[in-house]
C-alpha cells in the first residue's frame, strides 16, 4: 500500500474503519430536520419552540466535551464510544415515545451527550495517533462517517415515517444505530501502541513547539477572535439550515420524500469534500484553503435566497454540502497554522464553544417563519453574515513569534 496509510499497521486500518462507523452516529442528528413538520403538526408546537430544543442539545454537547476528553484519556476511546452509542439509541427511543415539550427537551439533553461522545474529541484522539503522516487525509477519511450517516438517516426516517409514523421512525433509527455501531466501538477501537511517530510533512513548515502558543497566549491574539467570530457566523447559519431545510423545501411544494432526498444529497457531498480537501490541505497553505472553502459557503447561502429555481437549488445543495463538511477538516489545520500544534486541543476546544451560537440561529429562523410565514429574512441574514465572515478570514495570520535565527 502506498500513500499516507502505508505506514499504518493493519490493526490501525481497522481502527480507522471503526472510527468511521462510529462517526456515522452523528448523522442521526439529521433526523430532527426530517421529523420537524410531523412533530410540530401533532403537538401543535411552533417551529421556534421545536428549534429551541437545540438549546439543551448544544448545551449538553458543549458541557460534555471536557468530560469526554478526560474519559477518553483515562478509560480509552473504546469505552467512551461504546457508552455514547448506547446513549444515542436511548435518546432516539425517548424522543419517539415523548408526549410533551419538556420530554422533547430532556431527550435532546441525552442526544447532546451522545453526540459529544461520538464526535471529534474521542475519535480524533485515537485516529490521529494511528497515522504517522498525512493526517489531513486520514481525518478526512474518518470524518466522512458523519456524512454517510447523515445521507442515510433522512431517507431511512422518511421511509419509515411514510409507512408507519414519525414515532416509529425515531425508535427504529435508535435501534438500528445501536446494532450497527456498537460492535465496531467495542471490538474495533483500540489505542495505538506507544511509540514515536515520524514528523508529518507540512506545506507551511512549523517554527517549532517552543514558539507554539498556549490557550492564554492565543486569547490575546487577533487570529483567535477572527476564528471565533467566523465560527460563530458559521454555526449560526449551519445549524439553522440543517434544522429547517426540509421544512423550507416542503413549504416550496416539494414532497417529503423529495425534500429528504435533497437534504441527503447535501450531506452525501461531504464525503467527497472531506476526502478531497483532506488530501489537498496536506499540500497547500491552510489560510488559502479556509478562505476558498468559506467563499463557496457564502455563495451557496446566497443561492438559498433563490432556491426556487432548480439550477440555484442544485448549486446550493452542492455548495452547502461541500463547504460545511470541508470546514470540519480545515478548522483544526487552521488552528495549527495560527497557533501551532502543541496546544491545539485546548485552543480548539475553546473555539468550539461557538457551537452554542448555532442554537440562536435555529431559534431565529423558526421565529422568522412563525412571524412572517417565510424564511426569507433569516436566509438574507445568513447570506450577509457569511459574506462578512469571508472578509474577516483575510485577517487570519500565523501568530507565533519567530524563533531566534528565523528570517
Which three cell numbers mark 20? 468511521
198 part of a folded domain: no
Q: Within this chain, do residues 238 and 168 fall inside the same structural domain, yes or no? A: no
Q: Are residues 20 and 167 in the same domain?
A: yes
Task: Say yes or no: 251 and 139 in one domain.
Answer: no
Q: Determine, yes or no, domain membership for 3.
A: no
Cell matching residue 373: 410565514
CA distance 95 to 177: 14
Same domain flag for 181 and 230: no
The pLDDT value recorded for residue 62 is 82
Look up the pTM and report it.
0.74
Query: Look-up: residue for cell 469534500?
Result: 273
Q: CA 212 to CA 339: how far, in whole Å?
A: 6
Count of domains for the chain? 2
Q: Report pLDDT for 201.
A: 46
Rg of the chain on CA atoms, in Å: 21
Domain that includes residue 386, residue range: 213-397
Domain co-membership, 57 together with 16: yes
**Do 373 and 312 share a domain, yes or no?**
yes
Position 407 in a domain? no
Residues 237 and 310 in one domain: yes
Helix segments in 119-221, DSSP class H: 120-130, 135-163, 166-187, 215-218
Is 279 among the domain residues?
A: yes
Cα–Cα distance between 271 and 145 in angstroms, integer?
Answer: 8
Q: Which of 157, 190, 223 is at the close of a domain?
A: 190
Residue 325 confidence (pLDDT): 85
204 falls within a domain: no
Check: CB of residue 120 under 8 Å from CB of residue 206: no
Residues 219 and 174 in one domain: no
pLDDT of residue 199: 42
Contact 318, 307 (CB under 8 A): no
Residues 334 and 387 in one domain: yes
Looking at residue 407, its pLDDT comes to 47
Q: Which three cell numbers stand for residue 225?
A: 477572535
Averaged over successive runs of 10 residues, the pLDDT of the chain (407 residues) comes to 57 87 91 88 90 87 79 84 96 96 95 90 75 67 84 88 93 96 93 54 49 85 94 93 87 84 80 78 80 94 82 87 86 79 68 83 91 92 96 92 58
* Other beta carbons within 10 Å of 5: 18
Query: What is the reported pLDDT for 292?
Result: 93
Return d(Cα 57, Cα 115) in angstroms, integer: 9
Residue that is last in its domain, among 140, 159, 190: 190
CATH classification at residue 389: 1.20.1250.20
Amino acid at each position: 500500500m502506498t500513500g499516507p496509510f502505508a505506514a499504518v499497521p493493519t490493526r490501525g486500518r481497522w481502527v480507522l474503519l471503526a472510527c468511521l462507523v462510529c462517526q456515522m452516529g452523528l448523522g442521526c442528528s439529521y433526523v430532527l430536520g426530517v421529523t420537524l413538520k410531523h412533530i410540530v403538526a401533532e403537538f401543535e408546537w411552533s417551529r421556534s419552540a421545536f428549534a429551541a430544543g437545540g438549546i439543551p442539545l448544544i448545551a449538553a454537547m458543549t458541557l460534555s466535551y471536557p468530560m469526554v476528553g478526560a474519559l477518553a484519556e483515562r478509560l480509552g476511546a473504546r469505552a467512551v464510544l461504546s457508552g455514547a452509542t448506547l446513549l444515542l439509541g436511548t435518546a432516539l427511543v425517548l424522543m419517539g415515545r415523548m408526549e410533551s415539550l419538556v420530554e422533547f427537551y430532556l431527550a435532546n439533553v441525552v442526544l447532546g451527550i451522545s453526540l459529544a461522545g461520538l464526535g471529534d474529541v474521542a475519535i480524533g484522539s485515537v485516529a490521529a495517533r494511528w497515522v504517522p503522516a498525512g493526517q489531513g487525509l486520514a481525518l478526512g477519511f474518518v470524518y466522512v462517517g458523519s456524512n454517510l450517516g447523515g445521507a442515510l438517516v433522512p431517507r431511512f426516517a422518511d421511509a419509515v415515517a411514510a409507512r408507519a409514523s414519525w414515532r416509529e421512525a425515531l425508535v427504529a433509527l435508535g435501534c438500528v444505530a445501536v446494532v450497527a455501531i456498537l460492535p465496531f466501538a467495542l471490538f474495533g477501537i483500540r489505542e495505538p501502541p506507544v511509540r514515536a511517530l515520524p514528523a508529518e510533512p507540512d506545506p507551511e513548515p512549523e517554527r517549532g513547539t517552543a514558539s507554539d502558543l498556549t490557550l492564554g497566549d492565543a486569547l490575546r491574539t487577533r487570529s483567535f477572535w477572527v476564528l471565533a467570530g467566523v465560527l460563530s457566523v458559521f454555526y449560526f447559519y449551519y445549524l439553522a439550515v440543517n434544522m429547517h431545510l426540509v421544512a423550507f423545501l416542503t413549504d416550496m411544494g416539494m414532497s417529503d420524500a423529495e425534500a429528504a432526498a435533497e437534504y441527503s444529497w447535501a450531506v452525501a457531498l461531504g464525503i467527497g469534500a472531506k476526502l478531497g480537501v483532506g488530501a489537498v490541505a496536506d499540500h497547500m497553505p491552510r489560510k488559502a484553503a479556509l478562505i476558498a472553502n468559506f467563499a463557496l459557503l457564502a455563495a451557496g447561502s446566497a443561492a438559498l435566497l433563490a432556491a426556487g429555481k432548480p439550477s440555484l437549488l442544485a448549486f446550493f445543495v452542492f455548495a452547502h454540502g461541500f463547504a460545511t463538511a470541508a470546514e470540519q477538516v480545515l478548522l483544526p489545520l487552521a488552528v495549527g497554522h495560527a497557533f501551532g500544534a502543541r496546544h491545539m486541543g485546548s485552543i480548539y476546544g475553546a473555539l468550539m464553544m461557538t457551537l452554542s451560537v448555532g442554537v440562536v440561529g435555529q431559534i431565529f429562523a423558526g421565529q422568522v417563519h412563525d412571524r412572517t410565514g417565510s424564511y426569507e429574512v433569516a436566509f438574507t441574514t445568513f447570506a450577509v453574515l457569511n459574506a462578512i465572515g469571508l472578509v474577516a478570514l483575510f485577517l487570519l495570520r500565523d501568530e507565533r513569534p519567530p524563533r531566534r535565527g528565523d528570517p
